[in-house]
A and B are shown apart, each in its own frame.
Chain A
Amino acid sequence: MSDVALSPARVALVGNPNSGKTALFNALTGSRQKVANYAGVTVERKEGTVTAASGRTIHVLDLPGTYSLRARSPDEAVTRDAVLGQLAGETPPDAIVCVADATNLRLVLRLILELKQVGRPLVLALNMFDIAQRQGLRIDLEGLARDIGAPIVTTVATRKRGIEELVAQIDATTLEAAATVAREWRAPDAGEIRDAHREAQRLMKAHVRPPERPDTLTGKVDGVLLHPVWGLAILLAILLLMFQAVFTWATPLMDLIDAGMTGLGGLVALAIPEGLVRSLIVDGIIAGVGSVLVFLPQILILFLFIIMLEDSGYMARAAFLMDKIMGGAGLHGRAFIPLLSSFACAIPGVMSTRVIDSKRDRLTTILVAPLMTCSARIPVYTLIIGAVIPAKVVGGVFSLQGLVMFGLYAAGILSALGVSFVIRRFLWRGMSEPFMMELPTYKKPDPTNVARSLLQRGQIFMSRAGRIILPLMVLVWFLSTFPYPPAGATGPAIDYSFAGTIGHFIQPLLAPIGFNWQMSVALVPGMAAREVAVAALGTVYAVGDAETNTGGLSARLAEQWSLASGLSFLAWYVFAPQCVATLGVVKRETNSWLWPTVMFVYMITLAYIAALIVYQLTVALGGG
C-alpha cells in the first residue's frame, strides 16, 4: 500500500433536504459516528468514518440540507462554509458527495452546477433509486455523469444498497484528484440562477425519461391531509394523540425513574454518614440529575412523534396548515415544530428553532417558546389546583379543576401568540420572511433510522440540559442549606439560609400579588426548575418529603392559602421564567446574554402583572 492510500480522506455530504442524506450517512458510517456542535455556532456537526476496501479511512461529514450555497439559515451557512473550506477549525473536504433524490432531480442538478463552481472533486450519489425503479424512471447514468463531469453511484440508503460502490468511488476520486485547487465562489444573481435552471432543464431532457408509473399516492393523501377542513381536523387529532402519549404513556416510566432516583438517594444516605457531603450528593447532585432524567421519557416520546412526522413528510404539511394562524401572530410556519416541542420542555423547543431561516423569525420563536406550558409546570399546577380549586363539576360534565388546567394551557398559547405579535409589531416591524417549502412525497419512516435519530436527540438533550442543570442544582442546594439555622431555632432550616433571606427580602415586593413569605422563599430554589418549587414548598411548610406526600402538602396549602393567593401563584407560573436551564440554552443558541436577559425581564414583568391582576380581582370579588 502506498503512502497516499494510507492517509485518510475527508468528504462532505451535501444535498437538498429530504434527499436521504442522513440515511446515507448512517448507512455509510453505521455506529461509528459522533454528534457534536460546530465551534461557535450551535449547528449540529455529525461526523463518522468508513474504511474503504483499500484499507483507507474516510471521514464523512454530514451537512445540513440546502437548495443552494447562498445560505439563509444558520444551518445552511454551515453547509456553505464547510463546502468552501471556510469553517473555523475544519479542514476543507477532499471531495464533495452530493446526495440526490433520484425521483426529484431538477433542483439538485442546479445545486450540482453550483457545487461544480467551487472546483472540488464531486461524486453524485443517486439515492432512492429503489423508488425511481419502481416508478419506471429511466436515467441515462453515463450520459449524465459525462455532462456534469462527476461519477455517479446509485444507492438505496435505507437498504444499504450501493454503499460499497459509493465508498470505492469516493476512494478513487479523492486519490485521483488529490491536487485540485478550489476556485473562488460567488453567490449567483437572478440571471445566473435562471441560466443554471436552463442547464438543469437541458440535462433533465437529455438524460432523464419521465416515470412510467409516477407517484400518485402523495397527491391522493394530500387531498385529505391538506383539505381545509379535514386537514386541520386530522392535525388536531394527531396533536391530541401526541399529548396523550406524552402525558399518559410516559407516566409509568417517569414514576419508575423517580422511584429509582429516590431509592438511589436512600442507598447513598445509608452509605454516607449524615452531614454536608451526604446532603450535597443526595439533595444536590442526585436530586439534580433526577430532575432532568425524569423528563426523559416524555421528551423521547415527543421526539419519536416528531421524527416520524418529519421522516414521513407530514411535518411540512403541518407547517402549511398552521402557517396562516401562526403568521397572524407574526410567526413563521416553521415555528410550529419548536413551539410544539416546547409543550414537553422549552429546551428541545429552543434547540429546534434552527430550521427557521431568518434570524428575527428564529429569535421571536425562541422568545415565546417558554410560554408554552412545559411539563415541568404540571406538578406545580396540579398541586395548587388541588389545594385551592374545589373539586366541583360544572355544566354537568366538566370538572372545575380540569377547566382551570385547560385555562392555564390556553393562557400559555394565547400569550405566546400575543407576545410574538407585539414583538413583530413594535420591535421588529415588518413581515416574517417568505414561507417557501417543498412538500416532499410521503414515505414510510425507516425504523432503524428513526431509532438512531431518537437516540441521538435524547443524548443531545441530556448532555445539554445536564450540563446546565447540574451545577445549578448544586448552587440552589448551597443557597438553601447555608448558613445553618442557629442552635435552638424552631422554624424550618431553609428559613435561615440564603434562600430564606432572599425570600424574605423580596416578599414585600410580592405582597401586592398575594405571596406570603413561604411562597417567596419557594420561588428561589424554584428558579432552577419549575417543579422544584413543589419540593421547596414542602420544605418551607415542613411537611417532610413533599414528593411522596403531596396529599399532605396540598391539605396544608388548602388551609393556609387563600383562593386569591393560589390563583395568583398559578398566574405567576404561566409566565415566570422559573427555569434557569432554558435561559442557559437560549444563551447558547443565540450566543449572547442579551436574549436571555430580554426573555427574563419580559417574562417576569408579565408574571407580575398577571399575578397582580388575578390577585386583586379575586380579592375584590371576595376570594381573598
Chain B
Amino acid sequence: MNNLSIDRVEIAESIPEVGITLRLSDASVGDRGVIIDVRADDDGKDHGVDIEELQRRLLEFGFVEGARVEVIHEGAIGHDPIAVRLDDMRVALRRRDAGDVIILLDRP
C-alpha cells in the first residue's frame, strides 16, 4: 500500500468547482461519491482479459457513469479486494481491476 499514496497524488486531481476525483482502485473505506467515467485505458497491468473486455464487465456489473459508489469493506492483506456499495447492491472486486473506474468524491 506504500506506493498507493504516490499513485493517489498522481491521479487524484482537484477540480476546484467540482471536487476531488480519484480512481476507485485508490479509494479507502468510507470514500463515497459518484462514478464519472469508466475507461478502457491500458494501465500496463495484466487483468487476465483485454482492457475492453474488463470495461464491458465493469459496465455489466453496474459500474456506469452516474452510479453511486461507497467503499464499505476491504481485505486484510494489502487492503484488497474491496467491497463497494454500488447504487443499491454490493459488489466485490480487486483493486487492480478497479483502476479505470473514476469517481468524484462527495464533498465532506
Q: Determine if A559 is an interface residue (Cβ-Cβ < 8 Å).
A: no
Q: Which of B81-97 contact A (CB under 8 A)?
A: 81, 83, 87-94, 96-97
How far is B64's CA from A145's CA once the two chains are assembled, in angstroms?
A: 25
Q: List 20 A-B contacts (CB under 8 A).
A: A68-B60, A107-B61, A107-B62, A193-B59, A194-B59, A222-B73, A228-B76, A229-B76, A319-B92, A320-B92, A321-B76, A323-B81, A323-B92, A325-B77, A333-B81, A431-B48, A433-B47, A434-B49, A436-B57, A439-B90
Q: Determine if A430 is an interface residue (Cβ-Cβ < 8 Å).
A: yes
Given contacts A325-B77, A435-B94, contact A106 B47 (CB under 8 A): no
Chain A residues with CB below 8 A from B45, complex form = 431
Given contacts A194-B64, A197-B64, contact A324 B93 (CB under 8 A): no
Q: Determine if A142 is an interface residue (Cβ-Cβ < 8 Å).
A: no
> Distance (Å) between the CB of B52 and the closest chain A CB?
7
Chain A residues with CB below 8 A from B55, complex form = 190
* B91 contact from A70, A333, A439, Cβ within 8 A: A439
Q: Mark A82-108, 1 if CB is under 8 A from B, else 0.
A: 000000000000000000000010110
Instruction: Check if A434 sits within 8 Å of B57, measured CB to CB.
Output: yes
Q: Determine if A133 is an interface residue (Cβ-Cβ < 8 Å).
A: no
Instruction: Check if A189 sits within 8 Å of B56, measured CB to CB.
Output: yes
Please list the residues of chain B having a beta carbon within 8 angstroms of any beta carbon in chain A: 40, 45-49, 52, 54-62, 64-66, 72-78, 80-81, 83, 87-94, 96-97
Q: Which 9 A-B pairs have the closest CB atoms?
A: A228-B76, A433-B48, A439-B90, A226-B73, A431-B48, A434-B97, A193-B59, A324-B77, A431-B46
Inter-chain CB contacts under 8 Å: number? 122
> Distance (Å) between the CB of A399 and the closest chain B CB?
32
Q: How many positions in chain A have a CB within 8 Å of any CB in the partner chain?
A: 47
Instruction: Check if A228 sits within 8 Å of B75, measured CB to CB.
Output: yes
Q: Determine if A437 is an interface residue (Cβ-Cβ < 8 Å).
A: yes
Instruction: Check if B73 sits within 8 Å of A70, measured CB to CB.
Output: no
Chain B residues with CB below 8 A from A321, complex form = 75-76
Q: Determine if A262 is an interface residue (Cβ-Cβ < 8 Å).
A: no
* A431 contact from B47, B58, B59, B78, Cβ within 8 A: B47
How far is B56's CA from A189's CA once the two chains are assembled, in angstroms?
A: 7
* B60 contact from A193, A316, A327, Cβ within 8 A: A193
Chain A residues with CB below 8 A from B96, complex form = 431
> Distance (Å) between the CB of A76 and the closest chain B CB?
11
Instruction: Check if A228 sits within 8 Å of B74, measured CB to CB.
Output: yes
* B92 contact from A228, A430, A431, A439, Cβ within 8 A: A439
Q: Determine if A176 is an interface residue (Cβ-Cβ < 8 Å).
A: no
Chain A residues with CB below 8 A from B81, complex form = 320, 323-324, 333, 435
Instruction: Check if A70 sits within 8 Å of B56, measured CB to CB.
Output: yes
Instruction: Check if A436 sits within 8 Å of B61, measured CB to CB.
Output: yes
Q: Which of A18-47 contact B (CB under 8 A)?
A: none
Q: Determine if A3 is an interface residue (Cβ-Cβ < 8 Å).
A: no
* B62 contact from A106, A226, A439, A440, Cβ within 8 A: A106
Determine which residue in A68, A110, A197 has the highest number of CB atoms from chain B within 10 A of its CB, and name it. Answer: A197
Chain B residues with CB below 8 A from A361, complex form = 48
Determine which residue in A198, A222, A226 has the highest number of CB atoms from chain B within 10 A of its CB, and name it. Answer: A226
Chain B residues with CB below 8 A from A226, complex form = 73, 83
Determine which residue in A226, A229, A333, A434 has the highest number of CB atoms from chain B within 10 A of its CB, and name it. Answer: A434
Given contacts A432-B48, A436-B61, contact A323 B94 (CB under 8 A): yes
Determine which residue in B49, B59, B77 has the highest number of CB atoms from chain A within 10 A of its CB, and name it. Answer: B59
Q: Mark A57-89, 1 if CB is under 8 A from B, else 0.
A: 000000000011010000000000000000000
Chain A residues with CB below 8 A from B90, complex form = 218, 222, 438-440
Instruction: Check if A324 sits within 8 Å of B75, measured CB to CB.
Output: yes
How far is B81's CA from A323's CA once the two chains are assembled, in angstroms?
A: 7
* B88 contact from A104, A194, A440, Cβ within 8 A: A104
CB-nearest residue of chain A to B65: A194
* A434 contact from B48, B64, B65, B83, Cβ within 8 A: B48
Instruction: Check if B91 sits within 8 Å of A219, measured CB to CB.
Output: no
Given contacts A194-B65, A430-B48, A436-B97, contact A222 B72 (CB under 8 A): yes
Q: Mark A436-471, 1 if CB is under 8 A from B, else 0.
A: 111110000000000000000000000000000000
> Distance (Å) between the CB of A233 and the closest chain B CB?
10
Q: Mark A415-443, 1 if CB is under 8 A from B, else 0.
A: 00000000000000011111111111000
> Distance (Å) between the CB of A339 and the closest chain B CB?
18
Chain B residues with CB below 8 A from A198, complex form = 64
CB-nearest residue of chain A to B96: A431
Q: Determine if A268 is an interface residue (Cβ-Cβ < 8 Å).
A: no
How far is B52's CA from A361's CA once the two chains are assembled, in angstroms?
A: 20
Given contacts A190-B52, A222-B83, contact A197 B73 (CB under 8 A): no
Q: Mark A343-369, 1 if CB is under 8 A from B, else 0.
A: 000000000000000100100000000
> Distance (Å) between the CB of B72 and the closest chain A CB?
7
How far is B89's CA from A227's CA once the two chains are assembled, in angstroms?
A: 19
Q: Determine if A254 is an interface residue (Cβ-Cβ < 8 Å).
A: no
> Distance (Å) between the CB of A75 and the closest chain B CB?
16
How far is B66's CA from A432's CA once the two chains are assembled, in angstroms?
A: 29
> Distance (Å) between the CB of B48 and the closest chain A CB?
4
Instruction: Check if B91 sits within 8 Å of A434, measured CB to CB.
Output: no
Chain B residues with CB below 8 A from A222, complex form = 72-73, 83, 90
Instruction: Check if A433 sits within 8 Å of B73, measured CB to CB.
Output: no
Instruction: Check if A437 sits within 8 Å of B97, measured CB to CB.
Output: no
Q: Determine if A201 is an interface residue (Cβ-Cβ < 8 Å).
A: yes
* A327 contact from B91, B93, B94, Cβ within 8 A: B94
Q: Mark A130-164, 1 if CB is under 8 A from B, else 0.
A: 00000000000000000000000000000000000
Chain B residues with CB below 8 A from A306, complex form = none
Given contacts A67-B60, A104-B88, A106-B87, contact A435 B97 (CB under 8 A): yes
Chain A residues with CB below 8 A from B60, complex form = 67-68, 70, 107, 110, 193
> Distance (Å) between the CB of A361 and the closest chain B CB?
8
Q: Determine if A383 is an interface residue (Cβ-Cβ < 8 Å).
A: no
CB-nearest residue of chain B to A432: B48
Instruction: Check if A201 sits within 8 Å of B66, measured CB to CB.
Output: yes
Given contacts A107-B89, A193-B56, contact A67 B94 (CB under 8 A): no
Instruction: Check if B77 sits within 8 Å of A436, measured CB to CB.
Output: no
Q: Which of A398-414 contact B (CB under 8 A)?
A: none
